[in-house]
Amino acid sequence: MVRLFRGLWCVNQRVDQWRAMRAIHEALRVAYPFILVMALIDVVGQGCLSKSGFFFQVYHIGSWLPGLEFWRDILQAVSVVVNGLVAVMIAFTTGHYMARTYHADALTVGLMSALAFLTLNVNYDTFGQTSHGNDLAQFWMPNLGPQGIFLAILVGLGVGWLASHLMQGLATWWRHHRHTSLSWTGRVAWSLTIVLGATVGIGYGLSWLTDGGINDLVYLALQTLNTNPGHNGLRILLVTSVSNGLWWLGLIGPIDVAGNSSVTSLQNLAYAVQHGSGWGAPHAITLHTLGDAYANFGGAGMTLALLIAIWIGSRQASYRRVATQTVLPNLVNLNESTLLGLPVLFNPILLVPFVLAPAVNIVLAWTAITLKLVPPIVYPVPRTTPGPLVAYLGTGGDWRALLLSGLCLTISVLIYLPFVRLLNTEGGADHAA
Amino acid sequence: MRRSWWRWALLIVVILAVFIPSQVWLKQRVTKYKSSYKTPLAPTIMVPGSSASQNRFDTLITQLRKETKKSHSVLKVKVAESGAISYTGNIRQGDNHPFIVIAFENNRDGYANINKQAKWLNLAFKDLVKTYHFNHFSMLGHSNGGLILSLFTEKYLAQTKHVTPDRLMTIATPYNMESDSTTKQTAILRELIKGRSKLPKKLTVYSVAGTENYSSDGTVPANSVNQGKYVFQNQVAHYTQITVTGDDTTHSDLPQNKQIVLLIRQYLLKETLPSKDRVPTTKRSQSKEADEMGLP
Q: How confident is the model at residue B292 (pLDDT cuts 50, 70, 90)?
A: very low
Question: Which of A260, A379, A386 lies at the smallest CB-CB distance from B18?
Answer: A386
Q: How confident is the model at residue A249 (pLDDT cuts 50, 70, 90)?
A: confident
Q: How confident is the model at residue B119 (pLDDT cuts 50, 70, 90)?
A: very high
Question: B30: which chain A residues are within 8 Å (Cβ-Cβ)?
Answer: 379, 396-397
Predicted confidence (pLDDT) per residue in A317-364, tens digit: 999 999 999 999 999 888 888 988 888 888 889 999 999 999 999 999
Dist CA B169 CA A424 (whole Å): 76
Q: Is the pLDDT of residue A130 over 60?
A: no
Query: Reduced to 3 states, what is the DSSP secondary structure of residue B173?
Result: coil
Cβ of residue A169 closer than 8 Å to a chain B Cβ: no
Contact B295 A269 (CB under 8 A): yes
Contact A379 B34 (CB under 8 A): no
Closest residue of A to B40, CA-based?
Answer: A270
Predicted confidence (pLDDT) per residue in B159-174, tens digit: 988 899 999 999 999 9
Q: How confident is the model at residue A373 (pLDDT cuts 50, 70, 90)?
A: very high
Give the total residue count for chain B. 296
Q: How confident is the model at residue A237 (pLDDT cuts 50, 70, 90)?
A: confident
Contact A379 B33 (CB under 8 A): yes
- Determine the residue type at B45: I
pLDDT of residue A162: 92
- Give the CB-side neighbour count of residue A36, counting CA atoms within 13 A: 17
Dist CA A28 CA B67 (whole Å): 67
Residues of chain B contacting A, Cβ within 8 Å: 18-19, 21-27, 29-30, 33-34, 37, 39, 133, 295-296
Query: Reduced to 3 states, what is the DSSP secondary structure of residue B78?
Result: strand
Contact A58 B19 (CB under 8 A): no
Mean pLDDT of A204-218: 69
Contact B26 A396 (CB under 8 A): yes
Residue B83: Cβ-neighbour burial (10 angstroms; 0-12, 13-18, 19+): exposed
Q: Is the pLDDT of residue A216 over 80?
A: no
Dist CA A175 CA B75 (whole Å): 96
Question: Which of A52, A273, A393 lies at the smallest CB-CB distance from B22?
Answer: A393
Contact A273 B34 (CB under 8 A): yes
Q: Contact at 8 Å (CB) between A332 and A47?
A: yes
Sign of CA dihedral A231, A236, A239, A243: positive
Domains within chain B, CATH numbers bracketed: 40-270 (3.40.50.1820)
Contact B19 A57 (CB under 8 A): no
Contact B34 A393 (CB under 8 A): no
- Determine the residue type at A254: P
Residue B8: Cβ within 10 Å count: 9
Q: Is the pLDDT of residue B224 over 90?
A: yes
pLDDT of residue A219: 66
pLDDT of residue B188: 92
Spatial CA neighbour of B77 closest among B88, B65, B90: B88
How far, in whole angstroms, is CA B251 from its chain's centroid? 22
Question: Which of B37, B133, B296 lies at the smallest CB-CB distance from A380?
Answer: B296
Residue B292: Cβ within 10 Å count: 12
Question: A273: which chain B residues are within 8 Å (Cβ-Cβ)?
Answer: 33-34, 37
Contact B26 A393 (CB under 8 A): yes
Contact B37 A274 (CB under 8 A): yes
pLDDT of residue A226: 55
Q: Contact at 8 Å (CB) between B114 and B151?
A: yes
Give the closest-approach CA distance of B129 to chain A in angstroms. Answer: 13
Closest residue of A to B34, CA-based?
Answer: A273
Q: Render B206-245 in DSSP notation, one character per residue.
A: EEEEEESSSSBSSSSBHHHHHTHHHHHTTTSSEEEEEEEE
Question: B295: which chain A residues are within 8 Å (Cβ-Cβ)?
Answer: 261, 266, 269, 380
Q: Contact at 8 Å (CB) between A424 and A315?
A: yes
Dist CA B227 CA A58 (whole Å): 49
Contact B37 A273 (CB under 8 A): yes
Q: Is the pLDDT of residue A132 over 60?
A: no
- Give A377's DSSP letter: P
Q: Work out the mean pLDDT of chain B and round it to a whole number.
A: 86
List the helix and strand counts (H, then E) for chain A.
Answer: 23, 0
Q: Is the pLDDT of residue A206 over 90?
A: no
Mean pLDDT of A114-143: 74
**Edge-first strand listing for the sheet containing B204-211:** B85-89, B74-79, B99-104, B44-47, B136-142, B164-171, B204-211, B238-245
- Give the CB-side neighbour count of residue A161, counting CA atoms within 13 A: 9
| pTM, 2 dp | 0.74
Q: Render A110-149 in DSSP notation, one character per residue.
A: HHHHHHHHHHHTB-GGGGGS-SS---S-SB-HHHHSGGGH
Q: Contact at 8 Å (CB) between A395 and A276?
A: no
Q: Is the pLDDT of residue A87 over 80?
A: yes
Q: Which residues contact A377 (CB under 8 A, 6 or more apart)?
A: A278, A288, A289, A292, A293, A390, A391, A394, A395, A401
Q: Work out the mean pLDDT of chain A and round it to a whole number.
A: 84
Question: B29: which chain A residues are within 8 Å (Cβ-Cβ)?
Answer: 379
Q: How confident is the model at residue B79 (pLDDT cuts 50, 70, 90)?
A: very high
Question: B296: which chain A residues are within 8 Å (Cβ-Cβ)?
Answer: 52, 260-261, 380, 382
β-sheet bridge partners, residue B79: B85, B104
Contact B29 A379 (CB under 8 A): yes
Contact A58 B296 (CB under 8 A): no
pLDDT of residue B284: 40
Q: Looking at this predicted complex, what is its ipTM?
A: 0.74
Among A134-143, A310-319, B93-102, the range scoring the smallest mean pLDDT is: A134-143
Spatial CA neighbour of A112 closest among A205, A44, A175, A188: A188
By percentage, how much of chain B surpasses pLDDT 90? 49
pLDDT of residue A431: 45
Q: Rounded to the nearest 10 degrees, what angle do helices A149-178 and A184-209 cross at?
A: 140
Contact B37 A270 (CB under 8 A): yes
Closest residue of A to B19, CA-based?
Answer: A389
Spatial CA neighbour of B231 closest among B204, B267, B191: B191
Q: Is the pLDDT of residue A416 over 90?
A: yes
Distances (CA, A) of B149 to A190, A279, B136, B170: 86, 38, 15, 9
Q: Please give the residue that has the higher pLDDT: either B289 or A350.
A: A350
Q: Contact at 8 Å (CB) between A310 and A320?
A: yes
Contact A379 B295 (CB under 8 A): no
Question: Which of A270, A274, A397 lies at the smallest CB-CB distance from B26?
Answer: A397
Among A308-312, A355-359, B65-69, B184-188, the range scoring the smallest mean pLDDT is: B65-69
Dist CA B266 CA B271 (whole Å): 5
Mean pLDDT of A374-386: 89
Dist CA A308 CA A324 (whole Å): 10
Mean pLDDT of B244-253: 87
Predicted confidence (pLDDT) per residue in A186-198, tens digit: 888 989 999 999 9
Give the closest-approach CA distance of A393 to chain B in angstroms. Answer: 6
Contact A58 B25 (CB under 8 A): yes
pLDDT of residue A211: 64
Cβ of residue A397 closer than 8 Å to a chain B Cβ: yes
Dist CA A377 CA B46 (whole Å): 40
pLDDT of residue A433: 31
Q: Is the pLDDT of residue A133 over 60?
A: no
pLDDT of residue A51: 85
pLDDT of residue B167: 95
pLDDT of residue A4: 80
Q: Please give the residue that has the higher pLDDT: either A415 or B69.
A: A415
Q: Is the pLDDT of residue A177 over 60?
A: yes
Q: Please give the residue that has the higher pLDDT: either A430 or A420.
A: A420
pLDDT of residue A430: 47
Spatial CA neighbour of A335 closest among A35, A23, A88, A33: A35
Question: Kind and range of the H or E element at A199?
Answer: helix A184-209
pLDDT of residue A320: 92
Q: What are phi and psi of A261, to 5 degrees?
A: -110, 15
Q: Please give the residue that has the higher pLDDT: either A15 or A368.
A: A368
Question: B10: which chain A residues are within 8 Å (Cβ-Cβ)?
Answer: none
Dist CA A31 CA A24 (whole Å): 10
Closest residue of A to B27, CA-based?
Answer: A396
- Determine the residue type at B58: D
- Give the CB-side neighbour count of residue A116, counting CA atoms within 13 A: 37
Q: How confident is the model at residue B282 (pLDDT cuts 50, 70, 90)?
A: very low
Q: How confident is the model at residue B231 (pLDDT cuts 50, 70, 90)?
A: very high
Predicted confidence (pLDDT) per residue in A11-22, tens digit: 888 887 888 888
Contact B29 A269 (CB under 8 A): no
Closest residue of B to A273, CA-based?
Answer: B34
